C-alpha cells in the first residue's frame, strides 16, 4: 500500500463523489427526523467539512465530497481509489453513532444507513470500516466444488431454490465461536458484499456479472444448508477464505443497490443441475484462479463491451445461464408479473394501496390514499413520493424493484407496530 497522503489528495479535489445518509431507529426502521450528522476526513476528526440534518423521512441532502481520480478504480492501481470519511451522528433520545472510514468513490453516490438505539447512558457506538478487498489484504478463497453432493445420509437440502428474507452472517471464520452472528436481509447482504468486493465505478455489465456470481454463491449456501450440515447455526461467513467479505455498517452504492433490486431473484445454473452454482472468483491481480471469474478481468471485459452473461461464460463456460428462484420469502404479496401504473385496476392495486397507507403512518411525507383498487393520479403520486424517499427512480410506476421495496418497508413498519401496539 502506498504511503501517499490521502489528505492531500482529498484537499486537491481531483474528483468528487456523492453521499446520502438515511437514519432510522434500530428497533423497526422508523425514520429519525432532525438527526445531526457531521462529516470529517478520517484521520482528522476535528476538521469538520459538512453538517446536515435529516428530514421527516430520515434522509439527508446529497453531499458532494472529494474523491481520488476515476482511473484509480476502473483499472488496477497502487493508489487508494476511494476517500475515507468519518460520520458522527446524534439525535435527541438516541445514543450517538460514529462511522469511521466511509468510502467515497468518484462519480457515484454512496448510501449510508445508520440505525440508532434509544439513549441508555452508554458510550457512543463506533464502527470502523476496514479496507476494501481490492485494496486491502485478505485471504484468498479456499477452493470448493461448484456443485455440492446432495445425496449424503442425513443431509439437509431445500426442496427448491428460495430467496430467503434474511441470511445469518457469522462475522468471522466458521470455527470462531466468539464471532457475532448478524441477521441481514438477503438483498442488503448482497449489496454490502458487492460494495465491499468490487468498485461501483465499474461498467454496468461487470457489476451485474459480479452481483450474479455473489447471489448464486449465496443461494448455493442457502439451498444446500452448507453450514447447518456442519453443525453451525448460520448461513454464511464474512471470511473471504470461505465465503464473501461482508462488513457490518459499511456504506453501499446507489447503482449497485439498483442493480441488486432488479436482479435479486436470479442465480446461475447449469443444465440438469437443480442447485445454484457455487460461483467462486478472485481479484485476478494479486491472486489468479483458473476456471473462476477474475474480478478485474470482468471489468476489463465490460470495458470491451461484453454483456454480463458473456463475461460469466468467459470464465465459467458456455453452459452457464441465468435462472430465477421459485419463491421469494418474507413478502406479503407476490409480484403481479407486470408493472402497475395509472389505469391499472384490481386486487394487486388494492394490495399496493394498503401497503402504501401503512407505510405513510411511519413516513409522514407520504400522503394517505383511497384503497379502491384503482391506480389513479393519487396512487401514482404516493408511489413517486415513496420512490423519492427510498432512492428509486421517480416514475410513479410500480415495477419489480418498487414492488419488492414497498413489500420490504411495509413488513418492517408492520412488525414494529405489532411489537408496540
Closest CA to 303 of 227, 229, 199: 199
How many domains is the chain built from? 3
Q: Are both 167 and 307 inside the same structural domain?
A: yes
208 within some domain = yes
53 within some domain = yes
93 within some domain = yes
Residues 6+ apart with CB under 8 A from 397: 339, 340, 341, 380, 383
Q: Are both 301 and 229 inside the same structural domain?
A: yes
- Domain of 87: which CATH number? 2.60.40.1120
Classify the C-alpha dihedral 379-385-390-394 as positive or negative.
positive
Distance CA(152)–CA(174), nearest Å, equals 21
Strand 236-237 with 166-170, pairing: parallel
Counting residues of the chain whose pLDDT is more than 90, the rounded percentage is: 86
Q: Are both 112 and 41 inside the same structural domain?
A: yes
Q: Are both 75 and 175 inside the same structural domain?
A: no
Confidence of residue 122 (pLDDT cuts 50, 70, 90): confident
Q: What is the pLDDT of residues 30-49, one digit of tens each?
A: 999 999 999 999 988 788 99
Q: What is the pLDDT of residues 75-119, one digit of tens each?
A: 999 999 999 999 999 999 999 999 999 999 999 999 999 999 999
Q: What is the mean pLDDT of residues 258-278?
A: 96
Domain boundary among 328, 357, 374: 328
Q: Are both 181 and 313 inside the same structural domain?
A: yes
pLDDT at 204 over 80: yes
Whether the CB-CB separation of 193 and 279 falls below 8 Å is answered with no
Q: Are both 211 and 178 inside the same structural domain?
A: yes
Whether the CB-CB separation of 353 and 410 falls below 8 Å is answered with no
Q: Are both 32 and 122 inside the same structural domain?
A: yes
Q: What is the pLDDT of residues 157-187, one digit of tens each?
A: 667 899 999 999 999 999 999 999 999 999 9
pLDDT at 20 over 70: yes
Q: According to the model, what pLDDT value does residue 27 have?
A: 79
Q: Are both 245 and 304 inside the same structural domain?
A: yes
84 within some domain = yes
166 within some domain = yes
Confidence of residue 331 (pLDDT cuts 50, 70, 90): confident
Distance CA(172)–CA(182), nearest Å, equals 11
Distance CA(251)–CA(98), nearest Å, equals 13
Q: State phi, psi for 256 to the nearest 5 degrees.
A: -65, -45
**Low-confidence winner among 65-74, 375-384, 410-419 (lowest mean pLDDT):** 410-419
Q: Are both 286 and 360 inside the same structural domain?
A: no
Q: Are both 195 and 232 inside the same structural domain?
A: yes
Quick check: helix, strand or coil at residue 52? strand
Q: What is the mean pLDDT of residues 61-81?
A: 96
Q: According to the model, what pLDDT value does residue 13 have?
A: 52
Q: According to the model, what pLDDT value does residue 237 have?
A: 98
Enclosing domain of residue 368:
347-413
Q: According to the model, what pLDDT value does residue 1 have?
A: 37
Distance CA(252)–CA(112), nearest Å, equals 7
371 within some domain = yes
- Give residue for cell 449510508: 112
Residues 6+ apart with CB under 8 A from 119: 93, 94, 95
Burial level of 305, CB count in 10 A (0-12/13-18/19+)?
A: exposed
Distance CA(351)–CA(289), nearest Å, equals 48
Q: Are both 311 and 362 inside the same structural domain?
A: no
Whether the CB-CB separation of 330 and 411 falls below 8 Å is answered with yes
Q: According to the model, what pLDDT value does residue 3 have?
A: 36
419 within some domain = no
Domain boundary among 128, 153, 179: 128
Domain boundary among 128, 154, 185: 128
Q: Are both 288 and 188 inside the same structural domain?
A: yes
97 within some domain = yes
Classify the C-alpha dihedral 397-399-401-407 as positive or negative.
positive
User: Which three three-digit cell numbers place residue 86?
Assistant: 468519518
Strand 125-128 with 97-104, pairing: parallel
DSSP code of 235?
Answer: S
Torsion of the alpha carbons at 316, 322, 325 and 329, rounded to the nearest 10? 80
**Low-confidence winner among 9-13, 52-56, 217-221, 322-326 (lowest mean pLDDT):** 9-13
Amino acid at each position: 500500500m502506498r504511503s501517499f497522503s490521502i489528505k492531500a489528495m482529498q484537499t486537491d479535489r481531483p474528483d468528487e463523489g456523492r453521499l446520502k445518509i438515511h437514519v432510522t431507529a434500530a428497533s423497526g426502521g422508523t425514520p429519525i427526523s432532525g438527526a445531526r450528522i457531521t462529516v470529517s476526513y478520517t484521520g482528522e476528526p476535528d476538521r469538520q467539512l459538512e453538517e446536515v440534518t435529516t428530514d421527516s423521512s430520515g434522509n439527508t441532502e446529497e453531499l458532494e465530497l472529494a474523491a481520488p481520480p476515476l482511473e484509480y478504480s476502473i483499472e488496477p492501481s497502487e493508489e487508494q481509489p476511494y476517500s475515507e470519511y468519518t460520520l458522527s451522528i446524534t439525535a435527541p433520545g438516541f445514543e450517538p453513532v460514529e462511522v469511521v472510514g466511509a468510502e467515497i468513490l468518484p462519480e457515484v453516490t454512496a448510501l449510508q444507513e445508520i440505525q440508532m438505539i434509544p439513549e441508555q447512558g452508554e458510550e457512543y457506538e463506533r464502527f470502523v470500516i476496514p479496507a476494501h478487498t481490492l485494496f486491502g489484504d485478505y485471504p484468498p478463497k479456499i477452493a470448493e466444488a461448484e456443485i455440492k453432493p446432495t445425496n449424503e445420509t442425513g443431509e439437509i437440502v431445500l426442496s427448491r431454490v428460495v430467496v430467503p428474507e434474511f441470511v445469518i452472517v457469522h462475522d468471522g471464520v466458521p470455527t470462531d465461536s466468539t464471532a457475532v452472528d448478524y441477521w441481514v436481509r438477503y438483498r442488503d447482504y448482497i449489496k454490502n458484499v458487492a460494495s465491499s468486493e468490487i468498485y461501483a465505478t465499474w461498467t454496468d455489465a461487470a457489476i451485474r456479472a459480479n452481483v450474479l456470481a455473489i447471489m448464486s454463491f449465496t443461494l448455493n449456501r442457502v439451498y444446500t444448508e452448507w453450514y447447518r450440515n456442519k453443525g453451525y447455526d448460520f448461513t454464511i461467513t464474512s471470511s473471504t477464505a470461505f465465503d464473501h467479505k461482508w462488513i457490518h455498517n459499511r456504506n453501499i452504492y446507489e447503482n449497485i443497490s439498483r442493480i441488486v433490486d432488479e436482479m435479486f431473484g436470479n442465480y446461475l445454473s447449469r443444465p440438469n443441475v437443480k442447485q445454484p452454482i457455487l460461483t467462486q472468483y478472485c481479484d485476478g491481480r494479486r491472486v489468479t484462479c483458473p476456471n473462476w471469474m477474475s474480478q478485474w478481468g470482468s471489468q476489463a471485459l465490460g470495458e470491451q463491451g461484453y454483456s454480463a452473461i458473456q463475461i460469466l461464460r468467459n470464465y465459467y463456460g458456455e453452459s452457464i445461464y441465468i435462472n430465477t428462484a421459485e419463491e421469494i420469502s418474507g413478502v406479503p404479496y407476490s409480484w403481479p408479473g407486470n408493472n402497475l401504473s395509472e389505469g391499472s385496476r384490481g386486487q394487486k392495486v388494492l394490495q399496493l394501496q394498503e401497503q402504501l397507507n401503512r407505510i405513510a403512518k411511519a413516513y409522514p411525507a407520504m400522503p394517505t390514499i383511497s384503497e379502491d383498487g384503482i391506480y389513479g393520479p393519487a396512487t401514482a403520486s404516493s408511489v413517486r413520493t415513496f420512490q423519492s424517499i427510498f432512492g428509486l427512480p421517480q416514475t410513479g410506476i410500480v415495477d419489480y424493484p418498487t414492488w419488492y421495496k414497498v413489500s420490504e418497508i411495509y413488513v418492517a413498519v408492520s412488525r414494529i407496530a405489532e411489537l408496540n401496539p
